[in-house]
Amino acid sequence: MAIHLANDKTLAGRGTWWNSENRFETQALCYEEDDVPMGETRVATELVADYAKSIIARNDSPDVGFDFSVNPYRGCEHGCVYCYARPTHEYMGYSAGLDFESKLFYKPDAAKLLRRELDRPSWKPSVIALSGVTDPYQPVERKLTLSRSCLEVLHERRNPAVVITKNRLITRDLDLLGEMAKSRCAGVLISLTTLDLGLNRVLEPRSSSPAQRLEAIAALRDAGVPVGVLVAPVIPGLTDHEIPQLLSEARSHGADFAGYIMLRLPHAVAPLFSSWLERHYPDRKSKVLSRLESMRGGALYQSAFGERMRGSGFHADQIARLFGVMHQKLGFRVGGMDLCTTGFRPAGGEQLALF
């Protein structure tokens, strides 16, 4: 149900302060501004066990660099207002707004399911992304350790994995990642959006600070883990000017790989982000949205493969050129991480024949 709360001070530490309408629901509860219920000063995180029957998801999108992913969590406490995964909460009857970051689903059997699926005769060793939808190292991972448990299974089976996160908590698992890297079975991409701490606090309220993410890159490098930076999302008119410094800082801290993704605003994310701009950066709202529209054929979002990650048009080309120049100048590696599947060990310890 769509409930609009009074102001962001009511919801300390949250990326948004209201629940957008669920596109699958036929009814919504809305309030006039003068009648908005104030509620508590903070919204607590609720955890719901999700007893899924499977854990490995197959990706058919040609613009994503992996075919398989494992997601121990649904919803994300980081609260990034721009998160493209927010609409996935609507499939479970919740809102893409406040619900997405405060009502979290966790899969207590994640490691058990993963081991079972890797041990099936039909499984062909492939790189698995952890996680691909919501952050595997969001704050609740500190308590539940589901992502670490999945890494343990991947390490046991020597099945390669790429971890994508914006949380320094990943350094807790340097022991596992370092061992996996010795067998070319681990790589990490640290997402870096901005170096502006003030912007970071309202854009990604419960994520690690920019400095902490750079520290994580250095720690991973020192542990021998292939590590890269993902400048994501690039927000035209708000963060695109930071690309040279973001890449420079990441490179100086040890990142060998670099990529970027343009801001995506599917479904309910568009009004959530627009409201966020109005509240925090009203002077830039028009510029940001108009540039997005110029990259998306006059709309705020396009789902077409080949364009949704980069956009098209003058501003998109300008950002691509800037990124390309800095990528070459700073000496980032060209191509993906060199991960290996030949050492995969199925149940019983038999090693697959090398091809």
Q: For 219-246, what is each residue's pLDDT tens digit?
A: 999 999 999 999 999 999 999 999 999 9
Element (H, E) at 275: helix 269-280
Question: HSE-up of 161 (CA within 13 Å, CB side)?
Answer: 31
**CB 124, CB 342: distance < 8 Å:** no
Residue 262, helix vs strand vs coil: strand
Phi, psi of 189 (to 5 degrees): -115, 120
**CB 28, CB 56: distance < 8 Å:** no
Bridge pairing between strands 73-74 and 128-130: unpaired
At 3-13, the pLDDT tens digits run: 444 444 457 88
Element (H, E) at 288: helix 285-295
Two tokens, residue 251: 């490179």
Bridge pairing between strands 103-106 and 73-74: antiparallel
Mean pLDDT by 10 residues, the chain (355 residues): 46 89 71 47 89 93 84 97 96 95 98 97 96 93 98 98 98 98 98 98 97 98 98 98 98 98 96 96 98 94 82 96 98 95 82 41
**CB 300, CB 271: distance < 8 Å:** no
- pLDDT for the residue 71: 97
Collect all residues with Cβ–Cβ distance below 8 Å to 80 and sequence separation of at least 6: 15, 203, 204, 207
Locate tokens 């952890």: which residue?
A: 130
Bridge pairing between strands 68-70 and 128-130: parallel
**Peptide bond before residue 72 is cis, with ω within 30 degrees of 0:** no
For residue 259, the tally of other CB atoms under 10 A from its CB is: 16
Residues 18/22/27/33 CA torsion (nearest 10 deg): 20
